[in-house]
């Protein structure tokens, strides 16, 4: 219905906005591409309008377009905050920084991603203090460490800034404990990983008791994934695979919140990584290909899929994924 309206009212921002939201799902994103490509031109002074196309670009793995969309929104948000004398950093700026970071990491533009992290670390006050700002405070440093496979860096993450009211945002706080725990589990720091696991259980139970079932499930996805890697570190192979499959199945049964461009690491992609480490490349490839259907053209997913295909002797698939990976990293090689 909305597509037909947009054909008649091509300059209507509300129609484009709702088409993007309605298409922001795996398998449907292509239906929102036309609206995404025109929305920023319809309302070029509105930060959120500049950002919204990236919901579709990310679903389709169009990383340079996603990065550019959020860079424009980021500058517009700063301009808005300056003109309106916002006390602290406007929550929308955080939102755009997280999406921008996510896109930069997929194309290997690590220096640009690092600049986002550095700016975030210099911010102490968000306005308002809500889920949008809480999520970005936690997600940006977690993504930066985990996407790069810097496990010791991840293991050193802390919940910050300390003055933020984290007790109101358990799901967001959980992101830091997940990243810290995963980094610890993958760098041999079992005690740190187990402490993070316990904190995730507490946060999950608190949200469940408050009838926040969606966020409780999101924390449980991370808890199961972390439990899998803790078990792996202890040599409990089948227990590790069981936990990781449970995490992936639960994530597949839910949908991402609009506050996030995507999971810190998709659970089924993480399952593929685990299976690769366990020298089960056939199962790993199956998991990674399923992950790439849901989150296409993710850098780590393509890289691991190429590894798994090579290990099982499927040279055609190995070349296919390797080529996609190299094309993805091309923007970073131009700088």
Burial of 84 (0-12, 13-18, 19+ CB in 10 A): exposed
Residues of the domain holding 334:
266-335
The answer to whether residue 115 is domain-embedded is no
Residues 331, 241 share a domain: no
Per-residue tens of pLDDT for the chain, all 335 residues: 999 998 999 889 999 999 999 999 998 999 999 999 989 889 888 999 999 999 999 999 999 999 999 999 999 999 999 999 999 999 999 999 999 999 999 999 999 999 999 999 999 899 999 999 999 999 999 999 999 999 999 999 999 999 999 999 999 999 999 999 999 999 999 999 999 999 999 999 999 999 999 999 999 999 999 999 999 999 999 999 999 999 999 999 999 999 999 999 999 999 999 999 999 999 999 999 999 999 999 999 999 999 999 999 999 999 999 999 999 987 655 44
Asked whether residue 295 is assigned to any structural domain, the reply reads yes
Contact 159, 129 (CB under 8 A): no
Looking at residue 334, its pLDDT comes to 46
Domain assignment of residue 75, yes or no: no
Looking at the structure, tell me whether residues 281 and 252 fall in a common domain: no
Asked if residue 30 belongs to a domain, the reply is no
Are the CB atoms for 321 and 299 separated by under 8 Å?
no
Count of structural domains, the chain: 2
The whole-model pTM stands at 0.95
Which domain-ending residue is among 264, 286, 320? 264
CB atoms within 10 A of CB 54: 29
- Which CATH number belongs to the domain containing residue 321 in this structure? 1.25.40.10
Is residue 144 situated within a structural domain? Answer: no
Cross-strand partners of 127 = 90
Rounded Cα–Cα distance for residues 37 and 240 (Å): 43
Inside any domain, residue 231: yes
Residue 322 and residue 234 share a domain: no
Measured distance CA(17)–CA(52) in Å, rounded:
7
Q: Phi, psi (5° rounding) for residue 89?
A: -90, 125
Q: Which of 222, 238, 264 is the last residue of a domain?
A: 264
Domain identity same for 155 and 198: yes
């Amino acid at each position: 219905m909305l597509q037909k309206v947009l054909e008649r009212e091509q300059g209507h921002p509300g129609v484009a906005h709702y088409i993007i939201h309605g298409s922001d799902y795996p398998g449907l994103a292509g239906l929102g591409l036309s609206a995404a490509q025109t929305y920023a031109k319809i309302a070029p002074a509105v930060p959120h309008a500049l950002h919204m196309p990236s919901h579709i670009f990310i679903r389709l793995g169009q990383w340079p377009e996603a990065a550019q969309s959020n860079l424009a929104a980021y500058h517009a948000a700063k301009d808005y905050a300056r003109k309106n004398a916002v006390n602290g950093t406007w929550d929308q700026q955080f939102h755009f920084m997280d999406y921008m970071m996510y896109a930069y990491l997929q194309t290997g533009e690590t220096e640009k991603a690092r600049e986002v992290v550095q700016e975030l670390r210099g911010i102490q006050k968000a306005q308002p203090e809500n889920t949008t700002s809480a999520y970005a405070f936690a997600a940006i440093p977690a993504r930066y460490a985990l996407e790069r496979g810097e496990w010791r860096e991840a293991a050193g993450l802390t919940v910050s800034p300390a003055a933020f009211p984290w007790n109101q945002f358990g799901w967001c706080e959980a992101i830091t404990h997940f990243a810290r725990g995963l980094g610890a589990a993958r760098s041999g720091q079992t005690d740190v990983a187990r402490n993070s696991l316990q904190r995730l259980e507490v946060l999950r139970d608190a949200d469940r008791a408050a009838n926040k079932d969606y966020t409780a499930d999101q924390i449980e996805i991370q808890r199961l994934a972390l439990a899998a890697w803790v078990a792996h570190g202890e040599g409990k192979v089948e227990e590790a695979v069981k936990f990781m499959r449970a995490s992936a199945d639960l994530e597949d049964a839910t949908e991402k919140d609009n506050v996030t461009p995507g999971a810190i690491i998709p659970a089924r992609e993480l399952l593929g990584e685990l299976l690769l480490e366990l020298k089960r490349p056939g199962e790993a490839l199956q998991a990674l290909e399923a992950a790439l259907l849901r989150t296409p053209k993710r850098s780590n997913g393509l890289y691991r899929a190429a590894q798994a295909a090579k290990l099982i002797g499927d040279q055609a698939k190995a070349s296919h994924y390797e080529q996609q990976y190299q094309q993805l990293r091309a923007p970073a090689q131009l700088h």
